[in-house]
Amino acid sequence: MNTTHISIVVPAFNEAESVQELFLRTKKVMDELNVTYEFILVDDGSTDGTAERLMELRRENPQIAILRHYRNHGKSLALMQAFDVARGRILVTMDADLQDQPEDIPKFLAKLVDGYDMVGGCRQSREDGKLRWIASKLFNWLVYKLAGSHFKDINCGFKAFTHDVASRFDLRGDMHRLMPLLAVTTGARFGEVPIDHAPRRYGVSKYRLVRHRGLLDVFAFSAIRSTQTRPFHVFTEMGFSSSVIGILLLGLWLAVAYGFDSAGASSAILLGLGCWFVLVGTLCPFFGLHLEAMTSYLNDTAWRKTLIKHYSEA
């Protein structure tokens, strides 16, 4: 009989210096709560001995499970694989770099007990730079505009939710950033708890504005689109209206340049604006169509299976 109450899921890519402390601090919290738990580390293709460092503790702590990717596939696939094997009725996801504090876990669990299906952390301060903070605010706003759901910190990796909720969606690319949105669109009740965010003590962030898997980041947008509360043809609409404004401005420029007034400055401004709108007008519908094509490609589950071939349990 399965008696595991909680599965703690930690994706880790080159976090050797943090994983032992993370486990020991988590163990202390869980022992105080007096619940059964497993600590699943997914080593996402690390080259610094992350899995080996945790294996040293596994001998004494059979609640540790280690899954291993021999290549780096990204956080979403790491989480998905852990969800597939997790035995707990409640799942907790936490980053491996000690920026999330395991001591906050009881707050999440208390909120789940209050009747929420998924609880996300809301970082009270961001310890990774102003730019990240602004990008994060923009992302929350974009999700609100496109999907109509308001989150204070949708992107926070520290979350707790029922196993049932985790089984309702698939994650690819950068879609782990949208788990709360995916959950609420399946009818889950989502709540947030304020948490502390610590600076990274070791290693570097794997976040890049332009990542090597940059193209896969559009998966996040295709997920917003899949919620269908605000369809993605907003791009197409923006594009066509930009085209119309662009054509009007170009016409005005032609009239000014060859007609009644040839004042250089005003015609240059009009030409500039016209070109800008025509450019946006052409690119936006293209972007919209591109997303459509990517979405249908992603629906082909064979694609995911080819990646999973690289997986094996440590």
Give the nearest distance from C-beta 182 to ligand UDP in angstroms: 18
Q: What is the SS3 assignment for 162?
A: strand
Indicate the helix (H) or strand (E) that contains 189: none
CA 29 to chain centre: 26
From the list 89, 84, 82, 91, the residue with the least C-alpha distance to 161 is: 91
Backbone angles phi and psi of 239, in degrees to 5: -65, -50
Of 36, 61, 167, 205, the one binding ligand UDP by CB under 6 A:
205
7 binds ligand UDP (CB under 6 A): no
* Contacting ligand UDP within 148-177 (CB under 6 A): 157
Cβ neighbours of residue 134 under 8 Å, at least 6 residues apart? Answer: none
Contact 90, 106 (CB under 8 A): no
Question: Which member of 7, 72, 149, 267 binds ligand UDP (CB under 6 A)?
Answer: 72
Amino acid in position 237 = E
Site track 98-117 with ligand UDP (rule: CB under 6 A), x = hit? -x------------------
Residues 116-145, one symbol each (x = binds ligand UDP by CB under 6 A, - = not), give ------------x-----------------
Tell me the residue length of the chain: 314
Instruction: Point out which residues bind Mg ion (CB under 5 A).
Output: 95, 97, 99
Give the one residue of 38, 97, 104, 192 binding ligand UDP; rule: CB under 6 A. Answer: 97
**Tokens (6 digits) for 229:** 């509360």
Residues that bind ligand UDP (CB under 6 A): 11-13, 15, 44, 72, 74-75, 78, 95-97, 99, 128, 157, 205-207
